[in-house]
Structure 1
Amino acid sequence: MTAVPLVSMTSISKAFGSSLALRDVSFELLPGTVHALMGENGAGKSTLMKILAGVVRPDAGTILRNGVPVQMNSPREALDAGVSTVFQELSLLPNLTIAENMFLGREPLTPSGRIDNAAMARATRETLKQLDLDLDPGRLVGGLTIAERQFVEIARGITANADVVILDEPTAALNAADVEILNRHIRALKSQGKAIVYISHRMEEIFRLCDVVSVLKDGRNVATVPVASVSPQELIAMMVGRDIAELFPPRGDGAKSAVALSLDGIRLTADSPPVRLDVHQGEIVALAGLEGQGQRELIRSIIGQYQPVAGTVEVKGRRIALPIAPASGVRRMQALGVGFVPEDRKDEGLFLDLSVAHNIAIGLNSRHSALSIARRYRDIIQDAIKSMAIKVSRPSAPVGSLSGGNQQKALLGRYLALGSDILLVEEPTRGVDIGAKAEMYKLLRDFANRGGAVLVLSRETIELIGLCDRLYVVHGRSIVAEMPAAGASEHAILEAALQR
């Protein structure tokens, strides 16, 4: 006997003004399955899930819950109907504690009617313990790392006692060990007969974890198939019409040119060995290896956001002793032609409420004193938007209204407009779709082909192998191997990291 779907969405359509986001889409969730939802940004995934989560109301179509018609008029109604959502854009409130965020809107009460803070703390501690997370429930969310915030968000979602759990890019900020913890809990939910919607741009996660995949393109459902029946190449072709081999542009010719950036004698801690690396003009160099081995600290030492014990950085022949003062590091490096693209573009890179034009021009204005009259740089901004292929209706549109990929391009465009010739890039494609990844890879390669130098780190080893010219393998806050990317493999990188 065929199981009754936990959720059936039939002929769902939704327009925003003249833009049709969803066109007659049907989507079904069976109990005990992990259902992948894939497609480029703008394909309609978020709109479809926001309708199921009660955030957006459809213009047409029906939703059945256990075969009974329902209307999700609010997130509260969706949660009451057994649908819990963890969106990619974190919804935690930074000025509240972990426990307060976990129980927001469903706080337990004492017999006298007061919020039972002790009960919230106990339940939160137990939930976090189940996720192998050792955090104080009374700690403010604003003081957590991105990965810790992501796990708290996930914990809140999967412990809401819902039958349907929507996970939107849940692993974007997690390392390999954390991903395995999350996967273990997803499998546990599946064994309990729950349905999990899994939205991710990482192919290996889809094929390791999911049972069924639906692909949206241009607001339509182009296919729903068992994951075991398709290949990664076929999935990408459904989404964007091209093969996975076409994601990465050709590498440079390998000819050595002048050194643009050098790190020499950097010791991240008192007991760590000194680190030395070079990045030449015209090449993209990766800091690879297991998560949390010092890659991030090395990059941030250059701009003063991490304070190493000793060492120097040399930028185009100019030698600077480390550490660099945190308050002036980013601007000091900008003056030398070094741009820094942080992993957390929303909190550290962009001013979401300001326009695309303002976000690009901020770097240009920073070259002048605080009392100088702000300049408009209209032509430079227009050139940056055009050359970066930023999809925006007008330069005055808030940068926060753009997709993740276009936000990332706007942040990168700030430094290209500034004339930077060295880029430090953390997680260049975090939370962006396959098509936007290909565009970002091309932009970085074009930058290098014009003589720029790029130092990059990423949790996706395949990304580093495909994008870069050389790889430094980092382990234990030290460089343990160097290899050309053209002949590298995930196995070789892991082997190098573990044989120190």
Structure 2
Amino acid sequence: MTELVRMTGIEKRFPGVHALKQAQFDLKRGEVHALMGENGAGKSTLMKILSGIYRPDDGTVEIDGQPIELSGPKAAQAHGIGIIHQELSLMNDLTVGQNILIGKEPRRSFGRLDERELNRQAGELLGSMHMKLDPKTIVAELTIARQQMIEIAKALSNRSRILIMDEPTAALTDAEVSELFAIIGRLKSEGVGIIYISHKMDELKRIADRVTVMRDGEYVVTVEAADTPVSTIISMMVGRALKEETVTIPDLDTAETALSVRGLNRGRVIRDVSFEVRHGEILGFAGLMGAGRTEVARAIFGADPKDSGEVFVHGKPVSIGTPKDAVRAGIGYLSEDRKHFGLALGMDVRANIAMASLGQFTDMAGRLDEKAMQATANDYIERLAIRTPDDRQEVQLLSGGNQQKVVIAKWLLRDCDILIFDEPTRGIDVGAKGEIYRLLAALAADGKAIIVISSELPEILRVSHRIAVMCEGRLTGILPGGAGTTQEEIMHLATLRDAMTEEHA
């Protein structure tokens, strides 16, 4: 196959971080080349250099065998390079069609926007992706999964011949993943070279031709995907073999109920949902995209209004109208979209950890005790093994896994008795996932009541003591966690439209 891209000797430094050290990568025409590594390995940084977002401090980038300098994203696009970022970059107040064709909108005479032609072109592209979606829909009204598919459509509209996909399936259902893989297959047959970054190891055998592994900013190895066991790739990523750990089911019969929800309703997205979580328990929430899992969490936390229903904390009714009310009641919520709702990206690690507990560091005159904040931040950096040069590092410069740990530290400092984790390992590598799983188990062992929402069934089975399954806004069943339940049993309830009649325990 003809070589499209060759990157050699790539160096990149940020304040306090040597992100890339003599990194290398190549891509051939009509192949899917997976780029693997733990969070902080340098994968996204290397691809941001290829897409013109960052400029390398040293090294060479060749396209079609010719050395080039990429002065910015437009220069990269001119060479046929497109990127689908892990973090969404859509404009929520614009329509689907306007987002897909932004910068290349069809015009009529006198430069006026041809809205009808724009919607036709966007609709044609969506149709080629088998997406039944009105181009006139406002993006803010879509789920994260739908928004991710719009990002993909936006990149495809540029007719890229080198396409970088950074965690493209992180928020997609199994059906949507199959559609995406079908699109990738068609692009391969047309000679498009695809660079595929993912932490979902099961995708490698389905989609990748070759795999390059990076670790700590350096190139490790390139192997043929078909000839290399996933366990070998994982050990090359983390530098060690990982042990598969399963949840230990404690005896919770005598544990007190921490959170009880009764008759929760919100339009058609939450319909008469009732459940409880005990101290020391991890209650998993499973279901297909749009089942109402996140909506339940947001209603409990006061982020969205509820139509009716009661919430009890430690057996006492609480009135929660805002997130501030929920925090006062001892409830913490880690959103699936940590960058928008969990972090202040431009602020440092210290400030992010302390932001929900500033009263602990403020004297009567309203002055902050910076030394106490520093000591506390460093304590959590050590306890959670947050990889950062120091507590003054900007959070936006940390890897996804370490950003998630900062959010967790924020709520641990607040000492919430009830913690809701919404997609806690989304966009996090296999090594960091294990750390999050162990942290969840440790929190439960300390008596915290935990809700975990996840789209990954193996994850739900691994961490949960019990599993609540939702379908179309209703709770359709509660199953035992661990080895007591199969994925097939969860999927049966996830596609069951009748409301729950009894607990499967």
CA deviation after TM superposition for structure 1 residue 119, in Å = 3.2
Is 1:172 matched with 2:165?
A: no
Question: Which of 459, 477, 480 is residue 480 of structure 1 equivalent to?
Answer: 477
Question: Which of 332, 335, 351 is residue 339 of structure 1 equivalent to?
Answer: 332
CA deviation after TM superposition for structure 1 residue 125, in Å = 2.5
Greater CA drift, 31-40 or 7-16: 7-16
What pairs up with 1:259-274 in 2 under 5 angstroms? Answer: 259-269=257-267, 274=272
Whole-angstrom CA distance in 2 between matches of 1:396 and 1:26: 31
The C-alpha deviation readout for 1:364-400, integer Å capped at 9, x for no partner, is: 137999x982543524333333322222333333322
Whole-angstrom CA distance in 1 between matches of 2:332 and 2:99: 35
Whole-angstrom CA distance in 1 between matches of 2:269 and 2:108: 51
Is 1:63 matched with 2:61?
A: yes
Contact 2:252 2:281 in 1 (8 A): no
Instruction: Please give the TM-score of this superposition, normalised by the length of structure 1.
Output: 0.89
Q: Which residue of 2 aligns with 1:461?
A: 457
In structure 2, the CA distance between the partners of 1:217 and 1:260, relative to structure 1 (3 Å rule), is: same
CA deviation after TM superposition for structure 1 residue 138, in Å = 4.7
Whole-angstrom CA distance in 1 between matches of 2:349 and 2:15: 22
Question: Which of 118, 121, 131 is residue 123 of structure 1 equivalent to?
Answer: 121
In structure 2, the CA distance between the partners of 1:287 and 1:45, relative to structure 1 (3 Å rule), is: same
Q: Amino acid of the residue matched to residue 490 of structure 2?
A: I
Is 1:390 matched with 2:397?
A: no
Whole-angstrom CA distance in 2 between matches of 1:18 and 1:347: 25
The C-alpha deviation readout for 1:321-357, integer Å capped at 9, x for no partner, is: 7xx43xx2x2112112111111111112222223322
Instruction: Please give the TM-score of this superposition, normalised by the length of structure 2.
Output: 0.88
In structure 2, the CA distance between the partners of 1:102 and 1:282, relative to structure 1 (3 Å rule), is: same
Contact 2:247 2:482 in 1 (8 A): no
Whole-angstrom CA distance in 2 between matches of 1:268 and 1:383: 40
Question: Which of 85, 88, 91 is residue 90 of structure 1 equivalent to?
Answer: 88
Percent identical residues: 39
Whole-angstrom CA distance in 1 between matches of 2:16 and 2:337: 32
Contact 1:275 1:479 in 2 (8 A): no
Instruction: Give the secondary-structure state (helix, strand or coil) at the position aligned to 2:294.
Output: helix
CA deviation after TM superposition for structure 1 residue 423, in Å = 0.3
What pairs up with 1:205-354 in 2 under 5 angstroms? Answer: 205-246=203-244, 248=245, 250-256=247-253, 257-269=255-267, 274-320=272-318, 324-325=320-321, 328=322, 330-354=323-347
CA deviation after TM superposition for structure 1 residue 223, in Å = 1.8
Whole-angstrom CA distance in 2 between matches of 1:245 and 1:174: 27
Instruction: Give the secondary-structure state (helix, strand or coil) at the position aligned to 1:360.
Output: helix
Contact 1:381 1:417 in 2 (8 A): no
Whole-angstrom CA distance in 2 between matches of 1:89 and 1:187: 24
Whole-angstrom CA distance in 2 between matches of 1:193 and 1:404: 32
Q: Which residue of 2 aligns with 1:440?
A: 436
Is 1:430 matched with 2:423?
A: no
Greater CA drift, 20-29 or 215-224: 20-29
Q: Which residue of 2 aligns with 1:490?
A: 487
Contact 1:21 1:219 in 2 (8 A): yes
Q: Amino acid of the residue matched to residue 281 of structure 2?
A: E
Greater CA drift, 36-45 or 299-308: 299-308
CA deviation after TM superposition for structure 1 residue 265, in Å = 3.1
Contact 1:341 1:349 in 2 (8 A): yes
CA deviation after TM superposition for structure 1 residue 189, in Å = 0.6
Q: CA RMSD for the aligned pairs?
A: 2.8
Q: Which residue of 1 aligns with 2:366?
A: 373
Greater CA drift, 266-275 or 221-230: 266-275
Contact 1:168 1:198 in 2 (8 A): yes
Contact 2:264 2:272 in 1 (8 A): yes
In structure 2, the CA distance between the partners of 1:230 and 1:338, relative to structure 1 (3 Å rule), is: same
Give the number of equivalent residue pairs.
Answer: 491
CA deviation after TM superposition for structure 1 residue 36, in Å = 0.8
Greater CA drift, 404-413 or 172-181: 172-181
Question: Which of 189, 197, 200 is residue 187 of structure 2 equivalent to?
Answer: 189
Instruction: Give the secondary-structure state (helix, strand or coil) at the position aligned to 1:478.
Output: strand
Whole-angstrom CA distance in 1 between matches of 2:110 and 2:252: 75
In structure 2, the CA distance between the partners of 1:160 and 1:202, relative to structure 1 (3 Å rule), is: same
Runs of 5+ in structure 1 lacking a partner?
none
In structure 2, the CA distance between the partners of 1:76 and 1:390, relative to structure 1 (3 Å rule), is: same
Whole-angstrom CA distance in 2 between matches of 1:64 and 1:128: 32
The C-alpha deviation readout for 1:206-256, integer Å capped at 9, x for no partner, is: 22222211111122221211211122221111111344434x465353343
Whole-angstrom CA distance in 2 between matches of 1:312 and 1:367: 31
Whole-angstrom CA distance in 2 between matches of 1:366 and 1:169: 38
Q: Which residue of 2 aligns with 1:450?
A: 446
Q: Which residue of 2 aligns with 1:74?
A: 72
Whole-angstrom CA distance in 2 between matches of 1:408 and 1:331: 21
CA deviation after TM superposition for structure 1 residue 498, in Å = 4.0
Contact 1:252 1:282 in 2 (8 A): no
In structure 2, the CA distance between the partners of 1:218 and 1:397, relative to structure 1 (3 Å rule), is: closer
Q: Amino acid of the residue matched to residue 103 of structure 1?
A: L
What pairs up with 1:391-406 in 2 under 5 angstroms? Answer: 391-406=387-402
The C-alpha deviation readout for 1:73-127, integer Å capped at 9, x for no partner, is: 3221211111111111223334544434323333444454555444333212322
Q: Amino acid of the residue matched to residue 468 of structure 2?
A: Y
Contact 1:150 1:173 in 2 (8 A): yes
